[in-house]
Amino acid sequence: MKLKQELLDICLQDVSKRVSNYKNEISFIKESIESNDKISDEEGESGNSKLLEDLEKNLNYLNEVHKIREYLNRINPNVVSNTVVLGSIVITDSITFYIAISKGKVTVNDEDYYIISIQSPIGQLIKSQSVGYQFEFNGKSYKIKNVL
């Protein structure tokens, strides 16, 4: 299904951008650490400890983004299910969701889609549900009209 592939591509592009940003940040931090290694005073040492913390943080973020990419790679845009699963497009009476990662609102072909994770609160409400299912979220009622 072309639309599912477009939505999946948007998610994959987002993840690729995040990977690139973290790799750039890691490179910058490593360069800063190398520069500080040339400074032997106490200020350089305390600067390095902060940089090492930042390096570890960014390495962890990069690892998480790689896990998200692996998760997205499990989505087959050609799979059609009668119930809400990873990779489903869920059309309600007011909003259309794409079940993948937490990304937010995107527009494809002049239509708005809310890309959400199946682990999100609303994702948990609609997981494994089918057409006709009614639910309430943040005081608003929804009814699933179609699952693609």
Residues 6+ apart with CB under 8 A from 48: 33, 36, 37
pLDDT digits (tens, 9 = 90+) for 97-106: 999 999 999 9
Cα distances from 19 to residues 33, 60, 103, 106, 142, in angstroms, run 21, 11, 15, 20, 35
Mean pLDDT of the chain: 93
The pTM score is 0.88
pLDDT at 90 over 70: yes
pLDDT the model gives residue 35:
85
Residue range 40-67: average pLDDT? 84
pLDDT the model gives residue 44:
46
pLDDT at 21 over 90: yes
pLDDT the model gives residue 34:
87
Antiparallel, parallel or unpaired: β 134-137 and 140-147: antiparallel
pLDDT digits (tens, 9 = 90+) for 61-80: 999 999 999 999 999 999 99
pLDDT at 32 over 60: yes
pLDDT the model gives residue 41:
53
Angle at alpha carbon of residue 66, lines to 47 and 2, rounded to 5°:
140
Answer yes or no: are the C-beta atoms of 65 and 13 closer than 8 Å.
no
Domain ranges of the chain: 2-73, 89-147
Assigned token pair, 5: 């592939």
